[in-house]
Amino acid sequence: MKILVVDDSRIMRNVLKNILKEKQIDENAILEAGNGVEALEMLKNNEVDLILLDWNMPKLNGIELVKIVRNHERLKEIPIIMVTSEAARYNVMEAIKAGVTDYIIKPIRGEIVHKKLEELLGQ
């Protein structure tokens, strides 16, 4: 199993990685990307089972990446949890329309991420 963590903040990627490790997810199963372009590169070269995705990032943002993934034959079924500071309802709606599977608003709590993981991956 592989989980791709996408955020332009390295600190936030580390926070998410630590939350995943608390769920006994192996360090080697976690891939990282600092923007949508890097994420696409990762997705091209790996079989990814879940994406944790920030919205506001340089080069290619989270919403743009969701749209690309959802239109991609091999990638379109991958669950995507948007993990973002964007807390307005119209943003949540926009993300759902673009095709995110779930939505977590920063600041994040470990328990919330764990709960979503259980729902999506059954663990």
Distance CA 101, CA 82 (A): 8
Nearest residue (CB) to Mg ion, 59 versus 70: 59
CA dist., res. 17 & res. 5, Å (int): 8
Among 14, 18, 46, 56, which residue interacts with Mg ion (rule: CB under 5 A)? 56
Check residue 8 for interaction with Mg ion (CB under 5 A): yes
Tell me the per-residue interface mask from 41 to 80 with another protein, x by CB under 8 A, - otherwise: ---------------xxx----------------------
Cβ atoms of residues 53 and 82 within 8 Å: yes
Q: Which of 3, 4, 8, 80 binds another protein (CB under 8 A)?
A: 8
Q: How many residues bind another protein (CB under 8 A)?
A: 22
Quick one: how many helices (H) and strands (E) in the chain? 5, 5
Q: Is 81 left (phi over 0), alpha (psi -120 to 50) or beta?
A: beta
Q: How far from 24 is each of 17, 27, 29, 35, 56, CA to CA, in Å?
A: 11, 9, 10, 26, 28
Of 47, 87, 115, 118, the one binding another protein by CB under 8 A: 87
By the rule CB under 8 A, 97 interacts with another protein: no
Site for another protein, rule CB under 8 A: 8-12, 14, 56-58, 84-91, 105-109
Contact positions vs Mg ion (CB under 5 A): 8, 54, 56-57
